[in-house]
């Protein structure tokens, strides 16, 4: 399977670089798996973290370049360390030994082929936990199809309905079309949502959306698409945790998002969610100390 990295087309950028020779494309990932942290995370959605926490593995590098990324040190600046596929499989098993609810792969896109091999190896050695694929949704449908049978729960963002925003804030083209096609493939794979007796999602999809200040109409379009295109039993998670960081704090061109959400903006989102009448999902409360929840990387 690693042969696919000889001319990498794993993500929509389709850089075509030979990662087996150490060459890197847009995501800055070589053939080596790079992670920045593995930990027990208690602040995901309740059906993901539960009472025992989610067994997160944070991968370094990303195929988006979001100017407001809260994890920019690992996604943009490459902080982390290289590990082998065997070591990744061992991490999955160590997480299971800690008693977590699932294995949560955070920003995994660049490493899909290696992750599949690690899952195979870990399952041979006793891994039984659900696998959660936690992604920005800028994914090739063919890559998501490769994950069929390996991923149990998909946790994609749907950041933008307006492509001009995706271009300005994440430096990508055609985000909405690409992301929505990928999300529909995720939905096709997981089928009927399954929640166990402890309230943990064992099969399903949760589409996340982070609301940006001064961009409420974009959020409404995103939420409308989710309502009209996802099965009613699937979940939506609307997040208020945005805070200005990284390039937003440095460059004048992003001044319109160089602040947190206002109560008035969040009220508009809450009212729109009520109007859409989602069956399943979560909505955050507007907080004041979101910065405190960013992990401390290795």
Domain of residue 264, CATH code: 3.20.20.70
pLDDT beyond 90 at 287: no
Model confidence, pTM:
0.96
CB neighbourhood size of 218 (10 A) = 20
Q: Assess contact for 209 and 157: CB atoms under 8 A.
A: yes
290 contacts: CB under 8 Å, gap ≥ 6: 70, 241, 242, 243, 260
Is the CA virtual torsion 93, 94, 99, 102 positive or negative? Answer: negative
- pLDDT tens digits, 122-135: 999 999 999 999 99
Give mean pLDDT, residues 50-55: 97
Residue 15, domain member (yes or no)? no
Residue 23, domain member (yes or no)? no
> DSSP secondary-structure letter at 105?
E
Residue 209 to residue 185: CA distance in whole angstroms? 18
- pLDDT tens digits, 163-219: 999 999 999 999 999 999 999 999 999 999 999 999 999 999 999 999 999 999 999
Percent of the chain with pLDDT over 70: 96
Residue labelled with tokens 């190896």: 121
- Name the residue range of residue 227's domain: 34-293
Residue 14, domain member (yes or no)? no
Residue 12, domain member (yes or no)? no
Which 3 state secondary structure label does DSSP give 163? helix
Residue 86, domain member (yes or no)? yes
Residue 170, domain member (yes or no)? yes
Helices (H) and strands (E) in the chain, counts: 9, 10
Greatest Cα pair distance, the chain, in angstroms, is 53
What's the number of domains the chain is made of?
Answer: 1
Residue 176, domain member (yes or no)? yes
Residue 207, domain member (yes or no)? yes
């Amino acid at each position: 399977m690693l042969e696919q990295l000889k001319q990498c087309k794993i993500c929509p950028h389709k850089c075509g670089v030979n990662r087996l020779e150490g060459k890197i494309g847009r995501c800055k990932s070589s053939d080596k798996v790079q992670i920045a942290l593995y930990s027990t995370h208690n602040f995901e959605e309740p059906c993901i973290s539960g009472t025992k926490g989610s067994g997160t593995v944070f991968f370094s590098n990303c195929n988006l370049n979001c100017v407001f990324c809260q994890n920019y040190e690992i996604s943009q600046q490459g902080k982390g360390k290289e590990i082998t596929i065997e070591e990744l499989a061992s991490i999955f098993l160590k997480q299971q030994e800690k008693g977590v609810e699932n294995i949560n792969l955070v920003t995994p896109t660049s490493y899909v082929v290696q992750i599949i091999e690690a899952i195979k190896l870990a399952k041979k050695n006793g891994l039984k936990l659900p696998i959660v694929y936690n992604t920005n949704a800028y994914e090739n449908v063919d890559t998501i199809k490769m994950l069929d049978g390996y991923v149990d729960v998909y946790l994609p963002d749907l950041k933008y309905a307006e492509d001009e925003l995706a271009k300005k804030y994440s430096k990508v083209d055609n985000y909405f079309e690409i992301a929505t096609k990928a999300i529909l493939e995720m939905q096709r794979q997981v089928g009927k949502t399954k929640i166990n007796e402890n309230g943990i999602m064992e099969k399903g999809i949760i589409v996340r959306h982070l609301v940006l200040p001064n961009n409420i109409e974009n959020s409404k379009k995103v939420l409308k698409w989710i309502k009209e295109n996802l099965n009613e039993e699937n979940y939506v998670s609307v997040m208020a945790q945005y805070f200005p960081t990284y390039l937003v704090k440095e460059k004048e061109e992003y001044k319109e998002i160089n602040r947190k959400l206002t109560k008035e903006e969040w009220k508009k989102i809450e009212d729109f969610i009520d109007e859409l009448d989602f069956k399943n999902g979560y909505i955050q409360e507007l907080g004041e100390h979101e910065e405190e929840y960013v992990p401390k990387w290795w």
